[in-house]
Chain A
Amino acid sequence: MQAEELVSHIVERAGLVPVGPVVSGRDSQSPIYYVTLRVARDASGKQVPSNRSLHAVANELKAQGITVEFILTYEESQDVERGLRATILHSHIDQIRNLFVSIQATRADVWIEPKGGIEADVLMAIHDRAEAFLRLVEIELSSVKLTTEEILPSKLALLTTIRHHAPASLTVIAADLGRRKLTVPSPDWLHRRLDALRRAGQVVRLGTGEYTLTEDSLKALGTAKNRTSPDIRRLLALSRRGS
């Protein structure tokens, strides 16, 4: 117990007020001490104690060979989240499963977990309700986002896939993106994305309908000298194909 008390004293000397006892983690060779702190906002909306001051204390302790982690409890934002969840779920129980809020200073991001596809006007209605609710507690809504597990491939993902398999057909590209757990909504979607890249001068469409990168995109992608080097993967992909 002594070490925990010592940590508590040091944290207090640094001007922080731990809530309850300090405890230590059990699964690592050198213990990590958990210090619970109450976090509030001051009149200007800044977090007190600030992340910077927490970082400073953690570093000071680290210099003495003590690792601490802070468990932060936000009374106020917990109430805001609970209130907003109740308000929104009440009017949209058929469309959304859950809602979360993350507040930084006086701005809040709201995420909603939809029950299925969600329509734009419903999203707009949720946005307006959330905005009105947050205004009451003087918090500005910065965004409403959907939590969804479908990920559409980025441009970078498309380019790296083509580099790997060039010349790559639509089927090969779609299959490789699928392997990387990226969702291709339809062949047409993929075709349109690739066509946009072609017009932007980043890929070339060969007479065979297959795609390869332009010299510019190859240069832009760059390479790496490590075990995940794209050059090596490219060589292996070529030899596997037997060409």
Chain B
Amino acid sequence: MEAVARHLRDRAIALGVASDVEADSFGRSAFNRYYYAAYLAVRHILEPVIPDLPRQHSTLPEFLRTTVRKQLGKRRERASRAGDHPAAKASKDAKQAVLNLAEILVAGYGSRVMADYHPEIPVDFGCQDFKLNEVRCTVAQGWPPKAKHFANIIAAAMRQTDAS
């Protein structure tokens, strides 16, 4: 899906240079695809370790910031009690990773809503690449790999501290 997004992006840039009317459609679709690439990767990585991950896009970040962080906190304590400092540290790092991941998902989903439901917000081609409401396409490009990275940190900590 990232490949699709990249294709849409390249097309948007090419058309944007030529001031083509379709440039806007390609540009906003690229944001949509970059978000979905990130979202699906996160589901794929986290679902095996967090079975009750909500399916709703808009409530997922808050679930991560509250429920998942609380659970990681408990696991950190458990690891410390067992004298496993690396696992305790992994849980602590994962708590930060959760915040980073939530931030990406918020920016991604918010941008996807703008891209798909708010045609009155135009894609801005007045910069090196292009942006939608101040979110640059290069930033959107970073969503999938960054989201995967943070999700992997969280999944690793969950696996290391799974006491059942």
Contact (Cβ within 8 A) B86 A154: yes
CB within 8 Å: A-B pair count: 137
CB-CB nearest 7 A-B residue pairs? A34-B110, A25-B58, A154-B87, A154-B160, A20-B133, A155-B84, A228-B164
Q: Which of A225-243 contact B (CB under 8 A)?
A: 228-230, 233
Closest residue of chain A to B133 (Cβ to Cβ) is A20
The answer, among A24, A26, A73, for a CB contact under 8 Å with B134, is A73
Query: B50 CB to closest chain A CB, in angstroms?
Result: 13
Query: A26 CB to closest chain B CB, in angstroms?
Result: 7
Closest residue of chain B to A157 (Cβ to Cβ) is B160
List residues of B whose CB falls within 8 A of some A CB: 48, 56-59, 61, 78-79, 81-84, 86-87, 90, 100, 103, 106-107, 109-111, 113-114, 117-118, 120-121, 133-136, 138-139, 142, 145-146, 148-149, 152, 156, 159-164
Query: A91 CB to closest chain B CB, in angstroms?
Result: 20
- Bound Cα distance from A139 to B32, whole angstroms: 32
Whether A100 is near chain B, meaning CB under 8 Å from some CB there, is yes
List residues of A whose CB falls within 8 A of some B CB: 19-21, 23-28, 32, 34, 36, 38, 69-73, 78, 81-82, 98, 100, 102, 111, 113, 147, 149, 151, 153-157, 159-160, 180-182, 202, 217, 220-222, 224, 228-230, 233
Contact (Cβ within 8 A) A230 B113: no
Given A27-B57, A38-B134, A78-B138; A100-B145 close (CB under 8 Å): yes
Given A19-B134, A23-B117, A73-B135; A28-B160 close (CB under 8 Å): no
- Bound Cα distance from A24 to B118, whole angstroms: 10
Contact (Cβ within 8 A) B164 A24: no
Contact (Cβ within 8 A) A21 B118: yes
Contact (Cβ within 8 A) B160 A182: yes
Given A36-B133, A156-B160; A23-B113 close (CB under 8 Å): yes
Contact (Cβ within 8 A) A147 B161: no
In the complex, chain B residues whose CB is within 8 Å of the CB of A81: 142
In the complex, chain A residues whose CB is within 8 Å of the CB of B145: 98, 100, 113
Contact (Cβ within 8 A) A221 B138: no
Contact (Cβ within 8 A) A147 B79: no
Contact (Cβ within 8 A) B134 A20: yes
- Bound Cα distance from A32 to B138, whole angstroms: 25
Contact (Cβ within 8 A) A159 B82: yes
Contact (Cβ within 8 A) A154 B58: no
- Bound Cα distance from A98 to B141, whole angstroms: 12
- Bound Cα distance from A113 to B144, whole angstroms: 13
In the complex, chain A residues whose CB is within 8 Å of the CB of B103: 72
- Bound Cα distance from A19 to B114, whole angstroms: 13
9 A-B contact pairs sorted by A residue (CB < 8 Å):
A21-B121, A26-B117, A27-B58, A32-B58, A36-B133, A36-B135, A82-B138, A147-B152, A151-B156
In addition to A26-B117, A181-B48, A222-B78, 15 A-B residue pairs with Cβ atoms within 8 Å of each other are A19-B133, A20-B114, A25-B58, A25-B113, A27-B58, A71-B110, A73-B134, A98-B145, A147-B149, A153-B160, A155-B83, A180-B159, A220-B81, A221-B81, A228-B163
